[in-house]
Structure 1
């Protein structure tokens, strides 16, 4: 049985989306249990014949715009804290949240711990799943020295190996492929990755290689990754809207948008499986985020990544 701890309080559309998403997922998966962490204002009532959904009432909620301060680590009654704690004590197999990204990363490191000292956890997003292609990092880390970017390459490669039969081929996102291009941080990271036996490093990647080409792990700092992802999703949404306004057939774009952009990102590098969905997630995206969490829980991604990195030490 896969046990999902679902933080219901982070999404822009409110906890009802999490509740309805949980019910839908349970109707599709007989081997899944969901514990839904919510606040007293939610006023949920369990529907009939829903014995695999439990509600956990929490006294505190970490808002999406809260800053990361020391008091955050003492708020053990918040929905996010309690969901992560359930993962740390093996009462859950995966946590899914739509909430505050900074708080999620900070509390995950605090409660779950990292898989290796000085290896910073990173948010990984699948740009597409068949063949698997990933972007790392998406915003968990904004200021990234070369050692951190090197670690992202390892985490992304381990992710690809854990979730597919493909060989990871790493590219470092840059403004050009020439050796003279890029900041000093990018050039030093390039030198570091070029010396490694694993993962297979293919050099710089330009923006045109994000969605096609032989490189299937694209590495960048969190500021760049977050901007790239949101710009890509914004462009897709814009084009879909323009096609509809002009009476064109937007079915291809709409299908791509629903199937490729419906789930969130995975925080890799902590001792536990953790999915971060977009705060603006609608019901379909909420369902996708939960199902993504189930997928990584089935392979126990966190353990698979840790074992793979241990082999390289």
Structure 2
């Protein structure tokens, strides 16, 4: 049985999306059990009884704009804290949330711990899944020294190996592929990656490498990654709205946009499986985020990544 801890309180559309997503998943997948962590509010209709659905009422909510302060770690009855604690205690296999990204990362590090000292957790987004191509980091870390970028390369490569038959080929996102280009940090990360026997490093990547070419793990700091992802999503939404009525064009956009599977991003580098869905997720995106969580739980992704990285330390 795959046990999903679902934080119902983080999305812009409210807990109804999580409730409906949970009901849909339970109807489709008999091997899944879901625990919903929610805060009771006026007019909220709870899902009907289901033998594989548990409801946990929480008295506190972490808002989308909250900052990371010490008091945050004492707020034990928020839906996000409770869901991650279930993962840390072994009563859940994966957490799915649409909530505050920074708080999720901070609580995950606090409650779960990291898989290796000085290896910073990162958010990975699958740009598409066949063949698998990933972008890392998407915003878990903004100020990144060279050593942190190397860690992202290792996490991304281990992710690809765990979830596909692809060979991970790492590219470091830069303003060009020429050796003379890039910041001091990028150039230092390039030197460090060249010296490593694993992962396989193919040098600098440009923006076009996000969508084609041999490099299937594209590494950057969280600010760049988040900007690239949001710009790409915005462009795709614009094009789908512009040409969505065309029967020939729309399916291409929909396939690339992955409207049905693996929505959101995966936090890697902590001792547990977490999926962060987009705050604006609608019902199909919520279902996709839960399905993504199920996929990484089946693969025992956190353990697989930890095992792969431990081999490089031997």
User: What TM-score, normalized by structure 2, do the two folds share?
Assistant: 0.96
Q: Which residue of 2 aligns with 1:254?
A: 254
Specify the alignment match of 2:229 in structure 1.
229
Give the alignment of 1:90-239 within 5 angstroms. 90-239=90-239
SS in structure 2 opposite 1:180? coil
Secondary structure of the residue aligned to 1:21 is helix
Offset of 1:64 from its aligned partner?
A: 0.4
Give the Å deviation of 1:108. 0.3
5+ long unaligned stretches in structure 2 = none
Q: 1:195 to 1:258 in 2, by over 3 A?
A: closer
- Between the aligned partners of 1:270 and 1:246, the Cα distance in structure 2 is 43
**Contact 2:59 / 2:78 at 8 angstroms: preserved in 1?**
yes
Unaligned runs of 5+ in 1: none
1:240 deviation in Å?
1.1
Residue 291 of structure 1 corresponds to which residue in structure 2? 291
Q: Runs ≥4 in structure 1, deviation > 6 angstroms?
A: 245-248
Q: Is the 8 A contact 2:7 2:95 kept in 1?
A: yes
Aligned length: 312
Question: Structure 1 306/250 Cα, relative in aligned 2: closer, same or farther at 3 Å?
Answer: same
Please list, as runs of the form range in 1=range in 2, the aligned pairs for 1:17-28 lying within 5 A after superposition: 17-28=17-28
Distance 1:160 1:14, change over 3 A: same
Counterpart position of 1:45:
46
User: Residue in 1 aligned with 2:300?
Assistant: 300
In structure 1, what is the Cα distance between the partners aligned to 2:251 and 2:35? Answer: 36
* Counterpart Cα distance in 2 of 1:168 and 1:100: 30
Mapped to 1, the partners of 2:280 and 2:256 lie a distance apart of 18
Distance 1:254 1:302 in 2: 29
Q: Secondary structure at the match of 1:272?
A: coil
What displacement does 1:165 show? 0.9
| CA distance in 1: counterparts of 2:247 and 2:155, whole angstroms | 44
Residue 244 of structure 1: CA displacement? 4.1
1: CA distance, partners of 2:261 / 2:150: 27
2:278 aligns with 278
Deviation, structure 1 residue 254: 3.4
3-state SS, counterpart of residue 41 of structure 2:
helix
Contact 1:128–1:260 (Cα < 8 Å) also in 2: no
Q: 3-state DSSP class of the match of 1:99?
A: coil
Q: Distance in 1 between matches of 2:244 and 2:286?
A: 25
Q: CA shift at 1:241, angstroms?
A: 1.1
CA RMSD across the alignment: 1.5
CA contact (8 A) 1:127 1:260 kept: no
Structure 1 length as normaliser, TM-score? 0.97
